[in-house]
Amino acid sequence: MKNPATGSFRALSSFNYRIWTAGALVSNIGTWMQRIAQDWLVLTQLTHHDASAVGIVMSLQFAPQLLLLPWTGLAADRFNQRKLLMLTQAAMGVLALALGVLTIAGITRLWHVYVFAFLFGSAAALDAPVRQTFVGELVGDEHLPNAVALNSTSFNAARMIGPAVAGLVIAKVGTGWAFLINGISFAAVLISMSLFRASELYPRARAHRTVGGFMESFRYVWGRADLRAILIMLFLICTFGLNFPIFISTMAVKVFHTDARGFGVLSSIMAVGTISGALLAAGRDKPKFSSLLIGAAAFGVGCTLAAFSPGYWWFAGSLVVIGIATLTLTNTTNTMMQLTTEPAMRGRVMALRLAVALGGTPIGAPIVGWVANHFGPRWALGVGAASGFAAVIFAVQVLTRRTKSMHDNEPRPV
């Protein structure tokens, strides 16, 4: 029998990580319900199938990753991460409840969704780098790669369940109830964090209060060729490729003419691929740059298949490929950047990573939404495919330079 301390689920040997995972799973299901409900509300109830409006919502939700960058990483490195997480999770829960009440009352307008998207994004911008680096305090560096992969497994298990449940809830009782359920789900995370065993945490060094603390992270990353390469690849794919609310919603409504249930099923099917990618990552000990190359290539191929899909189920199958590729990319970058960064710098470096990965959305989402409106959803998917292949070209250049450098540094025979 395989020892759980060395298997694919080894991080679960930690009590704190087990209850964190349980609470996060419940909350993530609610989060995915809200994402589906928000896109459906904007696309079908507040506008007449306007993909650009969905793009604006995405932009407002992810813009705080850039706008608040000087503070989010520093907060993750300096403050008590457990208390900070409880604050951000509670704030997001309250916002979800408020949007749910407005929607059920029938008074929600498009500008309301814009405001809530920005406020929710602001709380999430502060929450994300803390949540990602806090995993290291739960399991230590030894099990960090496995914990990151299992976090993704949990997140994408919720991604498989949440959209399907959201589709049913929207169809049966209305969009607003999906927001309310999400608001209530944040209680699961708050309860799990209140049950942590403090003696079993792995506290890491905190950053000192220095004037140049924020700029220090830029200098640190700029001086590391490996981190620069990762961030460039992330920018290309995340800005123009990871616009799934636009891709899936417009294909569901405009091409396949399905209802909320069919839309939710597509999002859940994509989660099958992301869970598969997360479980594959959980079985690996150390991530490699070559995994980024493979993930980028698979992403480009998956988007190409989706763009040319002749029917609903062909499109659903291509989403599985995209899901595997996406998780390969995101998990590899997450783990590589955390394990190769000094502990006192991790919060700021991960905030930079998130700013690049999510902060590019305000640039890419409106462009992709405009393409979907004027040329069709299939052309929008073509933009996603191009971003994957552009990242492949860049990765090949990096590996070629690295191989050439190693060759040039080899001792010459006398």
Do residues 116 and 238 both lie within one domain? no
Instruction: Say which residue, 210 or 44, is predicted with more confidence.
Output: 44
**Residue 7 in domain:** no
Do residues 17 and 111 both lie within one domain? yes
CA torsion through residues 109, 115, 118, 119, sign: negative
Cβ–Cβ under 8 Å, residues 232 and 394: yes
Do residues 153 and 234 both lie within one domain? no
Cβ–Cβ under 8 Å, residues 159 and 245: no
Do residues 185 and 244 both lie within one domain? no
Do residues 124 and 257 both lie within one domain? no
Q: Nearest Cα to 192, choosing from 32, 76, 22?
A: 22
- Which pLDDT score, from 0 to 100, does residue 391 have? 93
CA 282 – CA 388 distance, rounded (Å): 23
Residue 2: pLDDT band (50, 70, 90) is very low
Do residues 227 and 191 both lie within one domain? no
CA 163 – CA 211 distance, rounded (Å): 44
Q: What b/e sequence results for 359-385 when a residue is b if at least 16 CB atoms lie within 10 Å of its CB, and e otherwise? A: bbbbbbbbbbbebbbeebbbebbbbbb
Arithmetic mean of pLDDT, 135-164: 81
Do residues 20 and 68 both lie within one domain? yes
Q: What b/e sequence results for 65-94 when a residue is b if at least 16 CB atoms lie within 10 Å of its CB, and e otherwise? A: bbbbbeebbbbbbbeebbebbbbbbebbbe
- Which pLDDT score, from 0 to 100, does residue 332 have? 85
Q: Nearest Cα to 10, choosing from 142, 206, 119?
A: 142
Arithmetic mean of pLDDT, 127-132: 84
Question: Is residue 283 predicted with pLDDT exceeding 60?
Answer: yes
Do residues 169 and 303 both lie within one domain? no
**Residue 414 in domain:** no
Residue 70: which CATH number?
Answer: 1.20.1250.20
Domain extent, residue 299, equals 213-404
**Residue 247 in domain:** yes
Q: Nearest Cα to 59, choosing from 350, 361, 276, 352?
A: 361
Percent of the chain at pLDDT > 70 equals 91
Do residues 120 and 72 both lie within one domain? yes
Q: What are the tens digits of pLDDT across the range 321-364? A: 998 998 888 888 888 888 788 877 777 888 788 778 776 777 88
Instruction: Say which residue, 271 or 172, is predicted with more confidence.
Output: 172
- Which pLDDT score, from 0 to 100, does residue 59 have? 85
Do residues 123 and 236 both lie within one domain? no
Most confident of 150-154, 260-264, 386-390: 386-390
Q: What are the tens digits of pLDDT across the range 14-64? A: 899 999 999 999 999 999 899 889 988 998 888 888 888 888 888 898 888
Q: What is the DSSP string of 300-344?
A: HHHHHHHHT--SHHHHHHHHHHHHHHHHHHHHHHHHHHHHTS-GG
- Which pLDDT score, from 0 to 100, does residue 194 have? 92
In this structure, how many other beta carbons lie within 10 angstroms of the beta carbon of residue 154? 22
Residue 181: pLDDT band (50, 70, 90) is very high
Do residues 240 and 199 both lie within one domain? no
Task: Note if the pTM is more than 0.75.
Answer: no
**Residue 410 in domain:** no
**Residue 180 in domain:** yes
**Residue 192 in domain:** yes
**Residue 5 in domain:** no
**Residue 208 in domain:** no
Instruction: Say which residue, 215 or 148, is predicted with more confidence.
Output: 148
Do residues 133 and 281 both lie within one domain? no
Which helix (H) or strand (E) covers residue 267, if one does?
A: helix 260-282
Q: Where is the domain boundary, 203, 227, 248?
A: 203
Q: Where is the domain boundary, 203, 230, 250?
A: 203
Question: What's the number of domains the chain is made of?
Answer: 2
Q: Where is the domain boundary, 203, 222, 237?
A: 203
